[in-house]
Structures are given as C-alpha cells and as structure tokens.
C-alpha cells in the first residue's frame, strides 16, 4: 500500500516555468488530505521551496521535506531536523585541490547558507538558488562546520567537458550527481535522496514498499530504484528511465497528475 509520495521538483513536479500546475496541485492536495504523505525531495534548502510547500498545503505537524538531496530531513512546521548527514572541511579538500588546479567555480553549502569561494572564478549559483544567504568566502576562511554539499554551477556547455573528465578519485570519494544541466553536486558518499527517505519512512513505521517516487535525473536514481513504484517522466534521462517501474507524461504535461489519477483512481475520483 502506498503511504508516501516522494517528488523531485525541477523537470518533474515543476513545469518549464518552474510552476506547479493547477492539475498537479489539485491531485496532490486531495491525496494529502486523505492521509498520504506528500514529500518534496530537492537539492535546495527548505526556504528556497517554501512557496511550493504552501501551495500544496504541506504545513501540517507531520509534514516533512527531503532537502540537500537526502542530506537533511526537516519538519515543515517546527524546522526540526529528523535526520542530517554532511561533511567536514577536511572531507572537501580533494575537491578544493581539483577546482583550484582547474580554475573552476565552487560553492559550498552548510544547512543554512551558501559560501561562494571568492578566490575561484565567479559562479552562477546565485542566479539559480533563491531565498538563501550567500557569503563570499575565501577557501581558507571557510568555517569548521558541517557542510551538506559542494556545487559547480556554470553554463552547461562549460560544465559538460568537466564532468566528462572528472577524476575517478573524486567519483569514488563523493556522491557526484548532475542535478541540472548547469549544476554538478558533490555530496557525502552515502547521501542520496533514498537515504533521507529511509529515515522518514522509518519515522512513520513504513518501508520502501509503501513509497511511490517521481523523478527524472541522476540525483533521483536512488529513490526511483528503492521505491516500490518508481515513476520517471517522459523527459527523464535514459538511464533513469531504465530503472523505472513505469513511465509517465512529461513535466509540461502534468505527468505526476496523470499517473496519480490512474493509480489512485478510487481515492481522487
């Protein structure tokens, strides 16, 4: 029995205008009202997606969000952390060495703000991520705290060759995923959306047999594989589609609603 629906945002729940359509909103609100946990799963912090949380009415005491691609599970009302997993400054040193050598922009995030490395070329992350504090910081001046991830945010045509030639040592040390055409994220090796969802399912006394997950990209692959219903959008990457239990319409065709209307027909009709 499906008790939880996990939803990636960009190119999945959101259309090309970065909006939740009226149809998607209506279907998800109805399922949420009937007791199914609707959980947004994103690489962003909760403040950056708060308008979507409010639009869907995910503001009850038992509503949670998976943020930082699984590194933080946060209660939508109290903002208490149910689960978090990050990295220390020393864990990021191999990545720092690489971007310094290759002269690549890098942003480093804790669970509250973004540190844009001012001794590296300028990043475009500020244009992508809203509603969060940015601090210009030299690499050597980063605080000794827990970091959620590091991000390369540069135009897609510049990022593609970097990804193609990413050293094997970095791939082995981090969970490196391309979340958007212009964004490459470096997470703790064990962090994935399915890890955050595991913690949340445990909290509710459920397991992956109770999960339906929707996604399109590399950073959704873990939860797509783990969920009993792993649904991938028509616009999803081929390798993610290959792991799906089913495909649905594209994000611009209300693919989430299309699948839910059919699967939960007895609940929402």
Q: Scanning the structure block, which residue is given the tokens 């609603």? A: 257
pLDDT of residue 269: 63
Range scoring the smallest mean pLDDT among 16-25, 172-181, 215-224: 172-181
Q: Residues 124-176: pLDDT tens digits?
A: 999 988 888 999 999 999 999 999 999 999 999 999 999 999 999 999 999 99
Number of C-beta neighbours around residue 198 at 10 A: 20
Domain 89-188 has CATH 3.30.1240.10: yes
pLDDT category at 120 given cuts 50, 70, 90 is very high
CA–CA separation, 131 and 50 (whole Å): 9
Domain 4-84+191-268 has CATH 3.40.800.10: no
**Residue 268: is its pLDDT beyond 80?**
no
Residue 175: phi, psi to the nearest 5? -90, 95
Domain ranges of the chain: 4-84+191-268, 89-188
Closest CA to 129 of 104, 148, 144: 148
Sign of CA dihedral 48, 143, 182, 220: negative
Q: Residues 73-84: pLDDT tens digits?
A: 999 999 999 999
Number of C-beta neighbours around residue 265 at 10 A: 9
CA–CA separation, 116 and 123 (whole Å): 7
pLDDT category at 180 given cuts 50, 70, 90 is confident
Q: How far is CA 219 from CA 100, 224, 227, 232, 264, in A?
A: 25, 10, 14, 12, 26
Closest CA to 71 of 225, 207, 167, 174: 174
Alpha helices by DSSP H, 38-155: 50-56, 93-102, 125-128
Percent of the chain with pLDDT over 70: 99
pLDDT of residue 39: 98
89-188: same fold as 4-84+191-268? no
**Residue 264: is its pLDDT beyond 80?**
yes
Q: Are 18 and 227 in contact (CB under 8 A)?
A: no
The packing angle between helices 255-263 and 22-33, to 10°, is: 40
Half-sphere exposure of 154 toward its Cβ, with a 13 Å CA cutoff?
16
Q: Residues 31-60: pLDDT tens digits?
A: 999 999 999 999 889 999 999 999 999 999
Q: Residues 208-246: pLDDT tens digits?
A: 999 999 999 988 999 999 999 999 999 999 999 999 999
Count H helices and E strands in the chain, helices first: 11, 14
Q: Are 62 and 74 in contact (CB under 8 A)?
A: no
């Amino acid at each position: 029995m499906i008790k939880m629906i996990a939803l990636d945002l960009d190119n999945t729940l959101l259309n090309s205008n970065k909006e939740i359509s009226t149809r998607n909103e209506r279907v998800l609100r109805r399922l949420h009202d009937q007791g199914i946990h609707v959980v947004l799963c994103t690489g962003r912090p909760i403040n950056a997606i708060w308008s979507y949380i409010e639009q869907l009415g995910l503001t009850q005491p038992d509503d949670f969000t998976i943020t930082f691609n699984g590194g933080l599970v946060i209660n939508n009302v109290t903002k208490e952390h149910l689960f978090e997993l990050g990295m220390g400054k020393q864990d990021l040193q191999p990545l720092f060495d690489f971007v310094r050598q290759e002269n690549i922009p890098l942003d480093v995030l804790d669970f509250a703000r973004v540190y844009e490395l001012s001794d590296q070329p300028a990043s475009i992350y500020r244009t992508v991520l809203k509603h969060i504090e940015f601090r210009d910081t030299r690499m050597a001046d980063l605080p000794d705290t827990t970091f959620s991830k590091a991000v390369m945010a540069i135009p897609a045509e510049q990022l593609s060759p970097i990804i193609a030639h990413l050293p094997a040592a970095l791939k082995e040390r981090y969970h490196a995923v391309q979340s958007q055409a212009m964004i490459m994220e470096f997470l703790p090796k064990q962090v994935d959306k399915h890890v955050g969802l595991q913690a949340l399912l445990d909290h509710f006394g459920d397991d992956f047999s109770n999960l339906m997950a929707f996604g399109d990209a590399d950073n959704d692959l873990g939860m797509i594989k783990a969920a009993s219903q792993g649904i991938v959008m028509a616009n999803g990457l081929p390798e993610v589609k290959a792991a799906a239990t089913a495909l649905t319409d594209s994000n611009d065709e209300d693919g989430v609603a299309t699948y839910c209307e059919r699967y939960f027909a007895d609940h929402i009709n």
